[in-house]
Amino acid sequence: MHIGIIPDGNRRWSREKGLSIRLGHKAGAETLEKILDHAVKRYEFVKEISIYCLSTENLVKRTQEEIKDIFEIQADYFYRFSRDPVVHERHVRGRVLGFTSQLPTNVMDAIRRMEEATGAYSKHLVNFLMPYGGQQELINAAKRVVMPPYGPLALPNIKSSLEENLFLNSPVDLVIRTAENRLSNFLIYQTAYAEYIFLDKFWPSFTTEDLDMCMLEYNRRVKRRGG
């Protein structure tokens, strides 16, 4: 099973509590750590989890101060991930996918540490999408399909050729989003037949019980996958 998570609402959570936006993002990172540990300990059949950590739009629309805070929190998170006992006990591999050339040195250093520390694991895979945008991912993949070394030879099998050029080519089974009821450019191709669960709460307030509820709801649903 592959779960996609859109952890939205850090800023609104912090405003509601009279805290700084930085503290909202920090609380969101702490929630993510708790949820991932719970997921890999309780749900062995969940082989892959993809988290929408930072969109390409965020880089343009947020202030430089906020982006700097986000990067610092993410760097710290990846260092913690590389040392997390649960990660090593459960053989969790962490990797970052997206337009990573836009990330600063401190974040890239932390990513390399995480990927080196967990690269040999294969029981669970956690994809951190940052900076990421689904439309641009598809555009870039399509460009590569019609250019060398693919070119016209790829056209008879364009589906597999396109999938080979995506950041992520495994289909998502369940998408969980907090605070809003839309995808916001998240894994557009990969979520074509996914089930969606939207929760009316901010991400820092998301609990392990909420995750358990989402898993129960997913199991109740009939998955038609277009049929």
Cis preceding-peptide flag for 152 (omega within 30 of 0): no
Residue 180 C-alpha from the chain's centroid: 16
Half-sphere exposure in the Cβ direction for 77 (13 Å, CA): 23
SS3 percent helix, strand, coil of the chain, rounded to 5, is 55, 15, 30
58 is catalytic: yes
SS3 7: coil
Q: Which of 8, 37, 69, 84 is catalytic?
A: 8
SS3 75: helix
CA–CA separation, 18 vs 199, rounded Å? 22
HEC profile of 27-67 = HHHHHHHHHHHHHHHHCCCCCEEEEECCEHHHHHHCCHHHH
Contact (Cβ atoms closer than 8 angstroms) between residue 2 and residue 171: yes
Computed on alpha carbons and rounded to an integer, the radius of gyration of the chain in Å comes to: 18
| Amino acid of residue 202 | F
Q: Are strands 195-199 and 124-129 parallel, antiparallel or unpaired?
A: unpaired
Q: Which of 10, 37, 58, 212 is catalytic?
A: 58
8 is catalytic: yes
Q: Which residues are catalytic?
A: 8, 58
